[in-house]
Amino acid sequence: MTWNPHRLPDLTGRVYAITGATGGIGYFAAEQLAAAGAEAVLASRSAAKLRRASATIEEQVPDAITRHVQIDLTSLLSVTAAAQQLAAFPRLDGIFLNGGPMQFSSKARTEDGLPLLLGAHSVANVALISRLLPLLNEQGSEPGHGRIVHASTSFVRQFPMRVDDLDRTPRTGIAAYVKAKTATEVFAYELDRRIRAAGMSVSSILTHPGVGVDAKTPRRTGIRDETVQYQRNPYTPWAQGKDAAAWSGVRALTDPYAEGGEFYGPARVARGEPIRIDANSATRNPAPGIAANVWSYLAEASGTGSLL
């Protein structure tokens, strides 16, 4: 299907939650969804930043409908409380699991004692999903509804990591991040398989943003302006703005023809229009037993038990 990220389908009446929505890719995903008529549920840790992001969306989209849910992905207690809020909504068409700290530390821990990056980028999302599946399944009877979109990174393909030992944290922060995202991909594909087996009308879809940099990101009050610390990036000449980096996640959420088990990313890897890309065979079809082990580890660590 030809897809124009500047002209999304009419999303009036639909409701999407976005984690990490107070800055960067998450903010622009929320703004784009609101501009297409959807209700954007901004989920992030800071109440003040949530108010600021909502006000900024309204500057860009005067008739925008937004809601706020506070969530700290480094605390399973906070994740559970946020999931209960979201699960109480009368409608939820999809969630973009975009949030997570970008503190590349191999030693940092969550409030629950988990490795920070694995805990916030993988375990916390499993805790969210487990409580939202019933509501998302209710929305799955209509085309394009009932979406779970997992954010990964192109680094997973470039730097293969073992995930048969999730108890072990790599020595470097970037390796710990890639390992967490590798586990995310394995889990997302396994979730798709189990959803299909259960006959549920929910799609588990993967996406990666390419490279989004501040230098190419449009100005937004309190999001990308003089009040926000500027981040230099050596890949700027080959990169795109964070608004464009949000395109893949937004397409995975809203394309009526997208299906579970698919992967969306920029056409030119680091940048470009969002397209369906080939699955990573290493995470989609890992060695026997790996997917089941990753599933069990994340379900147990998140306190969700069997999940499905």
pLDDT at 2: 86
pLDDT tens digits, residue range 103-154? 888 899 999 999 999 999 999 999 999 999 999 998 766 655 799 999 999 9
pLDDT at 1: 65
pLDDT at 254: 96
pLDDT at 308: 76
Q: Where do the structural domains in the chain lie, given as residue ranges?
A: 15-302
pLDDT tens digits, residue range 207-243? 999 999 999 999 999 999 999 999 999 989 999 999 9
pTM of this prediction? 0.97
Place domain 15-302 in its CATH homologous superfamily.
Answer: NAD(P)-binding Rossmann-like Domain (3.40.50.720)
Question: Helices 173-198 and 290-302: crossing angle, nearest 10°?
Answer: 100
Q: Count CB-CB contacts under 10 A for residue 138.
A: 16
pLDDT at 19: 98
pLDDT at 307: 75
Full pLDDT tens readout for the chain, 308 residues: 689 999 999 999 999 999 999 999 999 999 999 999 999 999 999 999 999 999 999 999 999 999 999 999 999 999 999 999 999 999 999 999 999 998 888 899 999 999 999 999 999 999 999 999 999 998 766 655 799 999 999 999 999 999 999 999 999 999 999 999 999 999 999 999 999 999 999 999 999 999 999 999 999 999 999 999 999 999 899 999 999 999 999 999 999 999 999 999 999 999 999 999 999 999 999 999 999 999 999 999 999 876 77
pLDDT at 144: 57
pLDDT at 106: 85
Six token digits for residue 195: 């959803």
